[in-house]
Structure 1
């Protein structure tokens, strides 16, 4: 900037000397000799050259920083792809399962996951996620076969593995939308992380029990939400339940993340406690009492209880009431206009159940 100012100043000085020298004739030739000074523009460029030399020097450091901050390769080393021996061992662990249906499902999903990992189009980040999920699944299957694992623990871990498998399967479904695949991929990643914590011998017993309980509910909820016989039939309801499951999975992730603040952990724990204690909620208990008053069949009561455990109150409970096994009970409840629950039952008949939470009686607790 200073160089440009000096350059503009030079011609101004020249013009003032021209005005002063015209009277005497000799100076006129001197003025003609002044054109050489006009050739003095070369110096300004020389003065302008240094700045560009300084600019590249200032631009070079930032360009050199990115390569220095390239530790992703190190992360890849931490999550290496399954070796042929590990893949064989994983299949062997699957073959040891007693549930043939689950065995077949896991085998099919394993092949899909391996094909996805080996696809050149798959990003390194996704390769790392699915490799880790498969390794965590392998560890869980080994835990099932461990003689030290109790029958109850085996049953619980098996259920979680089934839910995790469903999440992986849905995340790789080519017929699903990109948003759904991303959602299920995140869910699979969260569940995988939590499962690894739960089966880690170093995990405190109380933490293990809590995490496994939440994983159990998430797994059964995921399976119910994707099972044609129990899944929500309306798109609004399907999205609501999926979002609820995702919210609980996110809470579980925050709760077990060592980098979470105490406040974050407390908030996540509160969310998970609501899910865990959903069947003890006073409004839920009042709803069950109303269903029994209407002589709801046991299948209906079981549906409401299971969906409440899986997706909490009120979303899970409304999901359960909307089940076909409760159809006659819902109709009877809507017709009983003297009951405080009549509006809710009528809403379930006319609207997606996800829009009926506001119709639940406010003072419905026992």
Structure 2
């Protein structure tokens, strides 16, 4: 496992930035496998982390076969997904509610599987097409009209830069809506969420839900035009 990736990392003609990307991803995979084998990790989460590690391993093993520009874009996507995997293993960054954790883990598992399939020569054209659709959807999250309206509302509430940055990062990692609401539930957004929940505006129900309920159940409160 990861043999060809380690060979690429050691090759003298591998660009430094690419070597660093491989190193970050491999380190993340190893830590994810450790979490999966930790007896303190709940059984269902252990299975999911194993699946995520397998998907990320297959993805990074396929990367050296790509053309340089395509490889750089692909590794960037893998790194963003690995950031979400790392956050899921961090006590203060992962979702507090088990229902939210499970939902985000499922989403990341889906993304890791898509990353594994999109450049897999053994995958069918239909599998690669579906993987591309999912990854394109994830990449386009920051341009989603609903997301843009949502983040404008967060900024209008004078949210701290740390709150806005966390929402942007989680959205890039996991997508709209779950990633965005994961970011909104971060402690950096606590004051903003509390004040907005009491505002009585068209977004107040969403903020109130994030304040009181698992954020993964709150998408129904995104305002409809």
The question of a shared fold, defined as TM-score above 0.5 by the shorter chain, is answered with yes
Distance 2:77 2:193 in 1: 30
Equivalent residue runs for 1:267-286 within 5 Å: 267-286=130-149
Question: 1 or 2 for the larger relative contact order (CA 8 Å, sep ≥6)?
Answer: 2
Q: Deviations over 1:176-207 (max 9, x none)?
A: 23332222222112111111121x2x422344
- The question of 1:340 aligning with 2:205 is answered no
Give the conservation status (yes or no) of the 8 Å contact 1:240–1:354. Answer: yes
Structure 1: any 5+ residue segments left out of the alignment? 1-131
The aligned residue for residue 16 of structure 2 is 150
Residue in structure 1 matching 2:219, options 357, 360, 363: 357
Equivalent residue runs for 1:58-73 within 5 Å: none
Residue in structure 2 matching 1:183, options 30, 48, 63: 48
Aligned in 2, Cα 1:190/1:241: closer, same or farther, shift over 3 Å? same
Measured after TM superposition, the shift of residue 147 of structure 1 is: 5.6
Structure 2: any 5+ residue segments left out of the alignment? none
Q: Deviations over 1:52-95 (max 9, x none)?
A: xxxxxxxxxxxxxxxxxxxxxxxxxxxxxxxxxxxxxxxxxxxx
Give the conservation status (yes or no) of the 8 Å contact 1:291–1:301. Answer: yes
Give the conservation status (yes or no) of the 8 Å contact 1:136–1:192. Answer: no
Give the conservation status (yes or no) of the 8 Å contact 1:166–1:222. Answer: no
Residue in structure 2 matching 1:172, options 20, 37, 47: 37
Equivalent residue runs for 1:45-124 within 5 Å: none
Identify which range, 209-218 or 290-299, moves more after superposition: 209-218
Distance 2:130 2:69 in 1: 18
Give the conservation status (yes or no) of the 8 Å contact 1:225–1:232. Answer: yes
Aligned in 2, Cα 1:222/1:298: closer, same or farther, shift over 3 Å? same
Superposed CA RMSD: 1.8
- The question of 1:253 aligning with 2:121 is answered no
Counting matched residue pairs gives 225
Q: Which structure has the greater CA radius of gyration?
A: 1
TM score, norm. by length of structure 1: 0.58
Distance 1:265 1:224 in 2: 27
Distance 1:142 1:268 in 2: 30
The aligned residue for residue 154 of structure 2 is 291
Aligned in 2, Cα 1:184/1:325: closer, same or farther, shift over 3 Å? same
The aligned residue for residue 75 of structure 1 is none
Identify which range, 167-176 or 298-307, moves more after superposition: 167-176
Give the conservation status (yes or no) of the 8 Å contact 1:137–1:192. Answer: no
Residue in structure 1 matching 2:59, options 160, 176, 194: 194
Q: Deviations over 1:243-279 (max 9, x none)?
A: 0000111112221222323222222101001111211
Distance 2:39 2:145 in 1: 43
Aligned in 2, Cα 1:150/1:357: closer, same or farther, shift over 3 Å? same
- The question of 1:223 aligning with 2:89 is answered no
- The question of 1:163 aligning with 2:28 is answered yes
- Tell me which stretches of 4 or more aligned residues in structure 1 moved more than 4 Å: none
